[in-house]
Structure 1
């Protein structure tokens, strides 16, 4: 016999291929399946179901993990942008507030046209003496002098306590120091004014204490209080606040008034330093 037919393995392989091709062709015919074929088909379908479902679950799990990672990245980016937006908003609000404050100061400056005034910014404030003083960025070089009045757009906040070359210390009206005495005028209806003296600050009620008011004067809540100009230190008419309460002293000879300040002593950024009456008179004498 030829050598070809003696190779049994090759013969078996060829026979298997022929049978496989025949089965494939047979299965593709449009006919009813026999029970062995149906059994094989159902078994294959069941196996497909068993293995396909976990595969789909695993695929869905991986996809969900990817979605979570993508969501985390997007949330991180959004959070950073929100933080940036918050910072920008805070900055914008601060600039808007400062702009409004400067506009009000410019308007106030026009009302003080008869006096020389200096715009200044607060550059330092001691937390331990927050109610007592602050430091501004104007000093002797810019023309600031001791005892000049210091105001904001809302009203008077204090006076210059000491002067350096390029900075000055402002003593606030809210200090409890009784040496911070300021002559004031209480505006009664008509042309009649009543005079008193600021001699302290009530920390508990946040009210200025005005004493030495004559007992016969009819002082009422809501009356406005300004600088009197009597001591020739501060210009007359600088607004301080309104009367909140009036009570007689322990001897009944005078009255004490508690004034609600018009200015905010705690949130001060820009101020106006106003030249006093004596300094203005001195300059006029020098001009002559």
Structure 2
């Protein structure tokens, strides 16, 4: 019984002391005790030591996450940029193709080509050899294509069929012509009734122009005049536009006029062509043949 009362007394005293300490610590004070200062400083110092590596680790983790996010965003932007560039390139190519097809359609519906059989074809390949300016088209003998047929675009003549296979054909471009493949031409003049005639005999690589040799030294030959096929020689129909005169001069003996002609068609950008059947002659050619007979 005595020990029970003693325990109860100790517990009561402890509660009174605890309540007193709590009350003492909760009251407003301007100065702390030495013990409280020690505890406060120790806890603050310990928290500073613990917080520094935690803060450092947290910052590193955040930076790594940000770097990963920036890298992913950069990769996404690069992919989208490449897709945008691809779309822009495809759009440019499609625009060129549409423009080329529209020119070809207008050319096909012209009165001049209504007198001929035209075979539409697309370019499959281009010769990489600079000595053979050729393209391969996707039409051949099965489509009516034969060797030496003229090949044009909506802008003008680009060459002739060199060889024809059953399903494809090889076209020799104007910049691959030489004296063995020369073209008889006429030069159009606004104020002159007579024709100025000559031959496309070569291609000047330095000037990137066709070389035209006239049949005589003709003072009427001028820059800006349009050059057409004459129909002579039995290969090219009469009236196919070849190009425009850019430079005029004379040969080294000063006996005949020469000129450099810029092709009307862009030979390095050809995608769609038309093959002209030479066997069908125009009414004008028929009339000329009747007059000759």
Question: Which category describes the TM-score, using the shorter chain as reference length?
Answer: 0.7 to 0.9
* Partner SS, residue 175 of structure 2: coil
In structure 2, list runs of 5 or more residues that go unmatched.
5-12, 287-293
Which residue matches 1:209?
A: 211
- Displacement after TM superposition at 1:29 (Å): 3.1
> Taking structure 1 as reference, are residues 202 and 16 closer, same or farther at Cα in structure 2, changes over 3 Å only?
farther
* TM-score, reference length from structure 2: 0.82
Query: In the alignment, is residue 146 of structure 1 matched against residue 147 of structure 2?
Result: yes
For 2:264 and 2:272, the matched residues in 1 are separated by 15
For 1:32 and 1:177, the matched residues in 2 are separated by 110
Q: Does the 8 Å CA contact 2:150/2:161 hold for their aligned counterparts?
A: yes
> Taking structure 1 as reference, are residues 240 and 39 closer, same or farther at Cα in structure 2, changes over 3 Å only?
same
Which residue matches 2:160?
A: 159
Residue number among 33, 36, 57 corresponding to 1:35 in the alignment: 33
Which residue matches 1:135?
A: 136
Alpha-carbon deviations, 1:173-231, whole Å to 9, x = none?
Answer: 10153211111001122332201011111111111111143114421111111111233
Which residue matches 1:194?
A: 196
For 1:18 and 1:43, the matched residues in 2 are separated by 28
> Taking structure 1 as reference, are residues 3 and 78 closer, same or farther at Cα in structure 2, changes over 3 Å only?
farther
Which residue matches 2:43?
A: 44
Alignment of 1:119-134 (within 5 A): 119-129=120-130, 131-134=132-135
In structure 1, list runs of 5 or more residues that go unmatched.
5-14
Identify which range, 259-268 or 45-54, moves more after superposition: 45-54
Q: Does the 8 Å CA contact 1:133/1:172 hold for their aligned counterparts?
A: yes
Cα RMSD of the aligned pairs, angstroms, is 3.1
> Taking structure 1 as reference, are residues 27 and 235 closer, same or farther at Cα in structure 2, changes over 3 Å only?
same
For 2:115 and 2:104, the matched residues in 1 are separated by 16
Q: Does the 8 Å CA contact 1:162/1:168 hold for their aligned counterparts?
A: yes
Which residue matches 1:246?
A: 248
* TM-score, reference length from structure 1: 0.84
Residue number among 257, 264, 280 corresponding to 2:259 in the alignment: 257
For 2:2 and 2:96, the matched residues in 1 are separated by 109
Q: Does the 8 Å CA contact 1:176/1:202 hold for their aligned counterparts?
A: no
For 1:59 and 1:271, the matched residues in 2 are separated by 67
Query: In the alignment, is residue 67 of structure 1 matched against residue 69 of structure 2?
Result: no
Paired residues in the alignment total 277
For 1:156 and 1:19, the matched residues in 2 are separated by 115
* Partner SS, residue 181 of structure 2: coil
Which residue matches 2:107?
A: 108
Residue number among 224, 229, 232 corresponding to 1:230 in the alignment: 232
Which residue matches 2:173?
A: 172
- Displacement after TM superposition at 1:25 (Å): 4.8
For 2:254 and 2:99, the matched residues in 1 are separated by 45
Which residue matches 2:280?
A: 280
* Partner SS, residue 150 of structure 1: strand
